[in-house]
Amino acid sequence: MSRDVAIIGVGQTKFTRNYQGSLREMVFEAFAEALRDAGITAREIGASLICSAPEYDKQRSPAGLLAEYLGLNPQPTFVLESICSSSTTGVRVGYSLIKAGLHDVVAVIGFQKMSEISSAESQERMGRGADIMWEAPFGSMMPAYYAMHAQAHFARYGTTEEDLALIRVKASKYGALNERAVFRKELTVEQCLNSAVVSSPLKVYDCCANADGASCLILANADRAKAISAKPVWILGLGAASETMSLTGREALDGLRAARLAAREAYQMAGLTPGEIDVAEVHDCFTIAELMAYEDLGFAEPGKGVELIRNGQTSLGGRIPVNVDGGLLSKGHPIGATGGSQVRTIVLQLRGEAGPMQVPGAEIGLVHNIGGVGIYSNVIILGR
Amino acid sequence: MGFEKFGPKSFTAQTRVAEFADKLAAGEICATRCVRCRRVYFPPRADCVSCLGNSMEWEKIPEKGKLVSYTRVQYPPAGFEADAPYTLALVDFGEVKVFGRLSNAVEEAGIKVGREVKPVVLTTPDGQLTYEFVLI
């Protein structure tokens, strides 16, 4: 089990519909919180990895701008992108830079200000995160792709719309507890089932909330982590994989192969099994995505994920609490900030600082962060 | 040039497989097959990832396929408002899978994963060439 790189500081803005300030100001909020949390200054950061999906940014080449505003010149800075999994890709690259000995301390900064463009416009841009020659011309978009996965899962395993509604009800319960979440209302199964259809069988409440937000993680090597931090959280395992962008290249649609491969690699590196995970953050951009994650991560056999949600096993007090911070569904999904926010939640859980969302005694946590419809997948296992 | 004629809304004009659109105009939906190693591709590719060859021949896709999955889009992305609602589908033809739309003439109640469908060529009201799936 590797204990070479730790997370020593975490920060996140409140996720909101429309951040009342500029992009740089929003990112500064998360960065300042992470620096204070780590107890270091910007000068001690060897490199900054700026994680965002640039199609939503008005600012071109944001790394340069942000390094300036955050006081991170003249250290190296660059952008990393894997759509919704950009900031866990940042963790992977940050880990590598530190392991390679190039830097002792690295900042992974994720953000998106989704309100800079309209919702329809953002759907169209997300659609172009699919093959623009052979799929986007038909009017494809993210909800439709996940809806096709849901339909395939329904057909193969008998999963129902009610099962998906239970996932949203759970997310809304914890979103209501999370002061940083964009969606604070508790929802009922009926409200979920009666919400308007976006792309069948997915309805409005099966879809995550677009949000503005930023996250920041400070990574350090073992020497610096031990010197600086009272409660370092160690990166025990990392896994990453990719899958064909076009659905035509996929074996099946009832799970995400890249997630299964990334999970296997992360478990192997950490020397842990799914049963040893105490708390998990999974990429629930849509309710069906959380259900597939249960199965792809090995929390349940393929087709048996529904039993976890039906029996409350993924709620607080259950066998493996999942997304007890509201998840993307209720906490919100500012694309580039999401992975960093998921990692932050797990870090707080492992430090015992998750407040009303705390999983008592959590020692091992897992983050599952997906880019696009399973195109990119990062799984990270953390331990205290 | 030429490929901008393909699809309800095109984002690409130039490609070495632009002949796909000409084939559609002639009523054929074609995959490409590598002349050297015989691997078949849909979506059509100009380059073979197996043998790195780039000599391809056109080959009609089968008449009959099975519905892998589908979704009825009610809230479309920008630029597709006039088309909604429409049904996106993935169809398995054995050697290849094809992504596209299911005909709006098909009632949603009649759609089921595993259902047999066939592809047909059509021209949209604004003159774009495309294909869609209909029930057999």
Q: What is the mean pLDDT of each run of 10 residues along chain A (384 residues)?
A: 91 97 97 98 98 89 97 98 97 98 98 84 74 94 96 98 98 98 98 98 95 97 96 98 96 97 98 98 98 98 98 98 98 97 98 98 98 96 97
Which residue stretches of chain B have pLDDT < 50? none
Domain CATH number, residue A114: 3.40.47.10
For residues A200 and A171, membership in a common domain is answered with yes
Let me know if A207 is a catalytic residue: no
Interface contact A307, partner B, CB < 8 A: no
- Domain range holding A148? 119-207+234-383
CA distance A278 to A366: 8
> Are residues A263 and A132 located together in one domain of the fold?
yes
What 3-state DSSP class applies to A10? strand
Tell me whether residues A137 and B10 touch, CB distance under 8 A.
yes
B62 vs A194: CA distance, rounded Å: 40
Catalytic residue selected from A51, A84, A208, A285: A84
ipTM metric: 0.97
Whether residue A172 sits in one domain with residue A263:
yes
pLDDT of residue B84: 95
Predicted pLDDT at A55: 84
By the 8 A CB rule, do A367 and A339 touch? yes
Q: Is B1 on the interface with A (CB under 8 A)?
A: no
What 8-state DSSP symbol labels residue A124? H
* Partner-chain contact A248 B83, CB within 8 Å: no
B-contacting residues in A 132-171 (Cβ below 8 Å): 132-141, 143-144, 147-152, 154-156
Same domain, A301 and A219: no
Q: Are residues A32 and A169 in the same domain?
A: no
Tokens of A205: 């409440």
- Nearest-neighbour CA in chain B from A32: distance (Å): 36
Are A322 and A241 within one domain? Answer: yes
pLDDT at A128: 76
Helices and strands in chain A, H and E counts: 13, 11
Smallest Cβ distance to B99: which of A134, A154, A202? A134
Query: How many structural domains does chain A have?
Result: 2
Site from A118, A149, A199, A253 to mutate, B interface, most B CB atoms within 10 angstroms: A199
Residue A285 and residue A338 in one domain: yes
| C-alpha span between A347 and A220 (Å, rounded) | 14
User: What pLDDT is stored for residue B77 in this prediction?
Assistant: 87
Dist CA A288 CA A202 (whole Å): 9
Element (H, E) at A342: helix A335-351
Beta bridge pairs of residue A111: A214
pLDDT score recorded for residue A1: 62
Residues A125 and A114 placed together within one structural domain of the fold = no
Looking at the fold, whether A105 and A137 belong to one and the same domain comes out as no
- The answer, for A131 touching chain B at a CB cutoff of 8 Å, is yes
A333 is catalytic: yes
Which of A380, A368, A261 has the alpha carbon at shortest distance from A323? A368
In angstroms, the separation between the Cα of residue A293 and the nearest Cα of chain B is 19
Based on the domain organization, do A227 and A128 belong to the same domain?
no
A225 with A332, same domain?
no
CA distance B84 to chain A (A): 9
Residues A95 and A215 in one domain: yes
d(CA A347, CA A354): 9
